[in-house]
Amino acid sequence: CGSFSINPAHLMVKFLSLFLLGSLLHAAPRKTPAELDAHLQKIAPDLVDATIAIFLNGGSGSGVIVSPDGLVITAAHVTSKANEKMTVLLSDGRELPATSLGVDHTTDGALLQINASGPFPYRPYIKKKNYEVGDWVIATGHPGGPVVGRPAPFRLGRIYAAGADSGFADPLTTSAMVISGDSGGPLYNLKGEVIGINSNISGAWTVNNHVPMPSIIEKWDALLAGESFGQPQ
């Protein structure tokens, strides 16, 4: 799956897993700390490889590649509207053109297409809710915008609220901290499946809202066709 500088990611995962494990052990994890750490080290490269940065109108956000031909899921407030031209930055350093497809401002989900030949590193995504409160999750993205030589930071957390309908009214809420620049990046389960997209990140650092994948799947065909829903929030 593309190229990946393993040492920075491993150091980042090690630091974050040790830091967060100490604060989350009270929740009775299904894996021991050692098992969880080993699992994170194993899956980190593929999850980071599929995470991209998105540049549009002087700003940046994040996204996740979900098909070998370059289909990307992101947040509606990142792409704003359909048929927008933009640039994406892959984990291997390539900058490629892309075009936004549909946007759904009612849930904050959106799609875009990379306009270049693949195959690209990508991750599978869920179509039905398969998560619950207490599950471990992993958020990636580009906080503060991408930094040369820095892989997309990898953050571990737990699900606080297992919403399924919107990034706003019924979000998937976690303790996996995301900030400005992470918007549109993926939220993964421990299988490495995309279960949500980083959304409303303006609240407390301990409350991180994500668009649940089931709400994006509900309008999948319309989003692929470039349709728009609602107004920016």
- Active-site residue list: 77, 108, 183
Whole-number Å distance between alpha carbons of 200 and 186: 13
State whether the Cα torsion 226-232-216-111 is positive or negative.
positive
Structure tokens at 17: 């897993």
| Residue 23 structure tokens | 């604060």
Distance in angstroms (rounded) separating the CA atoms of residues 163 and 197: 12
β-pair type (136-140, 186-188): antiparallel
> What are residue 175's phi and psi, to 5 degrees?
-100, 10
For 58, other C-beta atoms within 10 Å of its C-beta total 5
217/214 Cα distance (integer angstroms): 5
What tokens appear for 62 in the block?
């994040």
The burial class, CB within 10 Å (0-12 / 13-18 / 19+), for 123 is: buried
